[in-house]
Amino acid sequence: MSPLILRGLCKSYGGNLVVDGLDLELEPGRCHGLLGPNGAGKTTTLRLALGLIGTDAGSVDLLGYPMPAEAALARRKVGVVPQIDSLDPDFTVRENLQTYGRYFGMKGHEIEARIPYLLEFSGLAGKADAPINNLSGGMKRRLTLARALVNDPDLIFLDEPTTGLDPQARHLIWQGLRRLIGQGKTLLLTTHFMDEAERLCDVISVLDQGRVIVRGSPRELISEHIEPHVVEIYGEGLNEWKACASSYCRRCEQAGETLFCYTEAPDRVVAELAAMPGLRYLHRPANLEDVFLKLTGRDLRD
Amino acid sequence: MIDLNWYPVWRRNFLVWKKLAIPSLLGNLADPMLYMLGLGYGLGGLLQAVDGVPYLNFLAAGTLAYSVMNSATFETLYSAFSRMHVQKTWEAILNTPLTLKDVLLGELFWATSKSLLSAVAIMLVIWALGLYDNFAMTLALLPVAVLTGFCFAGMGLAINAVSPNYDFFLYYFTLAITPMILLGGVFYPPSALPAWLAGIAAWLPLTHAINLARPLVLGHLPTDILLHGLALLAYGLAGFAAALVLTKRRLLK
């Protein structure tokens, strides 16, 4: 059974269609990525899926329950890591977990039995009695993740779980998420970090203007939607070079002072560039970010 | 409608309060106590009996109602606003099986509980200084405090729901709370006011609360108990109903 099925979902604000006929079905036990530029409808989709807001049209089925009618029942087995930190600053690490568990109707002893695992999971075993304000940003994030697991959820929503973290802290969060996937949990993750999505997600849905425009594994998306190689070129004489580049470069995109050459035959491009001492270049395999930019454009959406 | 889902929210607030109970109690009580004792002895020394009793005795019930009002109002404005807007505590709770109704009920009952605590503290002073006439009758101040706390908690949550920031609360204090303190009969009987002003004052929730509390302190049964009780209930329910709609519009849109 799919833990989350969204069908023909629509939601508009003041005549502005934010979610526009969105379809999404999660496979159990997989990590699903929801990518899209700002304003694509990611957060609204999560809120609709959780039954926090009602739909204008379409249906939401969360763990077998119709939303938002049965939201309270469905959310018993759902964990949420919100984008904005919402830990209780007046409580210690342990008290945060205890208090949150009670919101799920858990008994004191049930929560107590779970706390050692949650502390170990979040690497906060030595910090159980530390006040929240003594924790680093990464620790707070890990605690937020642990808090979302207090009710042993089947499905976990993560809204930009690593935004604002340093690389060490991000890697720790990723380890935790991989562990959850290994346990058979289903994850739905929004992120702006393409490397994060590429590393963690089995299936990625790219959202734009309120609907899913493509869906597939990171590898599929890269092989289906973009040339395998990218040469990024910048420096003196770029414009002259660009004029004749089309003969050996399938597709070129200029962003500011940098030219992105997408090609199947990078050797030819690199050989040609060797004759242009004023130009500097970086040759790399195409990645998810290239796909994302191709599909959603390079324009700012704010 | 009747369930205990709100209890974990109430308990969360209680546990936070417990950590700072002593300074919080002192903060809650110092202000009304100073008013009551300072004005009661200071101003009372210059006055003949008011309504046939020493001024301090007269002031006691007003102070109690005023303190209950303040408790509920501060809790549902500043403290609830911090939880809702700054700490995002409510949003975190809304991701669990609890609903906005549960959150607001928890806050409503918590603010009412704090009001009751304020009332008890003032009652201790009333008992200690012998400012009452009939001890058994002063016990009826407890339900009056609950009703009054409920009333101002409901109204405060409605104001909280529409507030963009802390500064906004000043309007509520200036336009609602301060007029009530000055016209509601805390410091003098409303009969001292010109008829038109007394007419307005009669509609204020604090006036209803004092009309119940003062006779109980002075040892006689209040008149129009049902009217005053229902008025407090109605103000509180109207405020809470508005808070439900307005907070939903604010957080769940």
Q: Would you say A62 and A6 are in contact if contact means Cβ atoms under 8 Å apart?
A: no
- 8 Å CB contact of A102 and B98: no
Beta bridge partners of A204: A33, A216
**In percent, how much of chain A has pLDDT > 70?**
99
CATH 3.40.50.300 residue window(s) in chain A? 4-223
Q: Domain limits at B151?
A: 7-251
- Tens digit of each residue's pLDDT, chain B (253 residues): 568 999 999 999 999 999 988 888 887 778 888 888 899 999 998 988 888 899 999 999 999 999 999 999 999 999 999 999 999 999 999 999 999 999 999 999 999 999 999 999 999 999 999 999 999 999 999 999 999 999 999 999 999 999 999 999 999 999 999 999 999 999 999 888 999 999 999 999 999 999 999 999 999 999 999 999 999 999 999 999 999 999 999 999 8
- 8 Å CB contact of B97 and A50: no
B17: left (phi over 0), alpha (psi -120 to 50) or beta: alpha
- 8 Å CB contact of B15 and A99: yes
Of B92, B97, B99, the CB nearest to A76: B97
Q: How many domains does chain B have?
A: 1
CA–CA dist B80, A182 (Å, integer): 40
- Which listed CATH number (2.30.29, 1.10.10, 3.40.50, 3.30.70) goes with A227-285? 3.30.70
For residue A274, pLDDT over 90 is answered with no
Q: What is the pLDDT of residues B45-56, one digit of tens each?
A: 898 888 889 999
Pairing relation of β-strands A78-81 and A155-159? parallel
- 8 Å CB contact of A75 and B88: no
Residue B38 tokens, joined: 């300072």
Q: What is the pLDDT of residues A195-218, one digit of tens each?
A: 999 999 999 999 999 999 999 999
Between chain A and chain B, the number of residue pairs with CB atoms below 8 A apart is 63
**In percent, how much of chain B has pLDDT > 90?**
86
- 8 Å CB contact of B19 and A90: yes
CATH 3.30.70 residue window(s) in chain A? 227-285
Please determine, for the modelled complex, whether the ipTM score is greater than 0.85. Answer: yes
Taking Cα atoms as reference points, which of B166, B20, B12 lies closest to residue B92?
Answer: B12
pLDDT value at position A226?
Answer: 92
Q: Report chain A residues whose CB lies below 8 A from the CB of B82.
A: none
| Partner B, chain A 136-155, Cβ-Cβ below 8 Å | 151
Residue of chain A nearest B87, judged by CA positions: A86
Please tell me the distance in Å from A53's CA to the nearest CA on chain B.
Answer: 6
Cis amide leading into B23 (omega within 30): no
Q: How many CB atoms lie within 10 A of CB B34?
A: 11
Q: Confidence class of residue A252 from pLDDT cuts 50, 70 and 90?
A: confident
CB proximity list for A53: less than 8 A, separation 6 or greater: A11, A44, A47, A68, B252, B253
For residue A59, pLDDT over 60 is answered with yes
CA–CA dist B112, B115 (Å, integer): 5
A104, with CB counted inside 10 A (0-12, 13-18, 19+), is: buried
CA–CA dist B113, B145 (Å, integer): 9
A80 vs B: CB within 8 A: yes
Taking Cα atoms as reference points, which of A10, A53, A46, A40 lies closest to residue A26?
Answer: A46
Domain-located, residue B70? yes
* Degrees, nearest 5: CA angle B165-B169-B172: 150
- The correct answer on CATH 3.40.50.300 for the domain covering A4-223 is yes
- Distances B156 to A140, B90, B176 between C-alpha atoms, Å: 32, 16, 11
Domain-located, residue B1? no
- 8 Å CB contact of A72 and B16: no
Please tell me the distance in Å from A45's CA to the nearest CA on chain B.
Answer: 12
